[in-house]
Amino acid sequence: MKNIDEKILMTDGEIKQLQNKRKKPIIQSKQEERKKRDRRLYEKGAVNQKILKIIEKREQTEENIEVQEEATDTEE
């Protein structure tokens, strides 16, 4: 009886190992796809941040110009 139970346990272990071997390439490809997607998102996010900074600078210069124009108007 012990011999059969041991064989069953060994076979179950081998089945799990084979299943894990089969899953490993799938998991690796998913991780690679995730890394590529994350990289694209980071790059796009960086571009968006640069654009936002440019927009903020333009808004600040426009505000400064308006303030200067108001100051020159009040002086006259």
Model confidence pLDDT, tens digit, residues 5-23: 888 888 999 999 999 999 9
Alpha helix segments (H runs only) across 1-76: 2-75
> Over the stretch 21-69, which tens digit does the pLDDT of each residue have?
999 999 999 999 999 999 988 888 888 889 999 999 999 999 988 888 8
The pTM (predicted TM-score) of the whole model is 0.51
Instruction: Return the pLDDT at 41.
Output: 87
The total of structural domains in the chain comes to 1
Q: Please indicate whether residue 76 or residue 9 has the higher confidence score (pLDDT).
A: 9
| Closest-CA residue to 16 (of 27, 5, 8, 25) | 8
Task: For residue 39, give its domain range.
Answer: 1-75
